Amino acid sequence: MKNYFNFSLSGEKLFPYWLIFNIGLVFVYGYGMYSMFTFFSSITPGEMRSPEELQALLGDSDIRFYMNILSFVLLFAGLVFYFYFFKFSVEATSYKEENFAFSGQSSEYFGKIVLGFFLTIITLGIYFPWFSKTLVDYFAQNTRYKEHNFRFNSTGTDLFLKVLLYYGLPLFGIVILNLTLTSLVGIGSIFLFLIAILCAIVVLYFYLIKWLFNYTYKNYNIQFDGKLGSFFPFFFVQLLLSYITLGIYMPLAYLKIYQFVLQHTEAKSADKVVSFGYDSATGDDFLYLWGQILLTLITLGLYYPWAICNIYNRVLGKTYTLTSETDNKIIYSEA
């Protein structure tokens, strides 16, 4: 028997937080455009300046400093918005008529963000995997279902090694190889370079999913057990279809990837296996997603909170679990 999730968050509840974030977004980019316009207006018309001279002038001005500060503030604001979006989303999600709960406090979360940013900056980004682990762990530990909390099992060290081994080192090798081949095959080497970069990104994306989907709930271990051999061609097909349709297929590509991750994620205990699935209706899903996107576009983004809530409601409402015993795989409904 399939047991479905339910999502009840409304756009009205999300709108004020989304509006505050976007006001900040408009201010940052508006200030950036105004500053750049002022900067270039100060240059005498017809005066020729080399790129190096323009870069030097820009470095001497206050524009870069203030833009860096504003970008940092915007990133912080984005993480603040995400906190409330996550909190509201968890509390609006139910399973078997039982709501999930979130007990995290904004003050504690903000403290983790400030400390994480500080450590990431002074370590030149090296601390970022551990910062990411801290945030994911915080959200997991404060998410509760039927009086039991989740626990995130992956580590920052594991993420650091995955990024280094599956992206950093391959990227370094690709760059060295490309510099060698450029003198030999010219444009062909650039094409090979781009393909190699894309392959490295796909591989990294796969291992990031494996890192992220690794939780414990009660006596269940929840993990993504997909294989790179099946994920790689599947993901490339989604990218290719998105590319050749000029992005029209992309919303459905995201949904297909979501479905793939669900199908390869299981919650296992000593005697039970809970599998996940999604009731796909490709044509209807495609039209619904684009309907929400178009409404967002024609309202200049104002409809976005309602669009994202409607999409979550549809997707989670079609997401289900199936529970089986580990020995004979007999499907049954849990009490």
Contact in structure between 131 and 116 (CB atoms under 8 Å) = yes
pLDDT of amino acid 49: 53
pLDDT of amino acid 22: 76
Side-chain-side CA neighbours of 7 within 13 Å: the count stands at: 22
Strand partners, 276: 321
> CA-CA distances (angstroms) from residue 99 to 186, 275, 291, 301, 311?
59, 20, 29, 30, 19
45: left (phi over 0), alpha (psi -120 to 50) or beta: beta
332: left (phi over 0), alpha (psi -120 to 50) or beta: beta
Contact in structure between 76 and 112 (CB atoms under 8 Å) = no
pLDDT of amino acid 232: 87
pLDDT of amino acid 330: 41
Across the chain, which has 335 residues, the per-10-residue mean pLDDT values are: 92 88 70 62 55 52 61 74 91 94 92 91 92 94 94 94 78 65 54 66 83 94 91 89 94 95 93 93 95 94 94 95 70 38
Q: Report residue 102: phi and psi, to 5°.
A: -130, 125
Contact in structure between 11 and 104 (CB atoms under 8 Å) = no
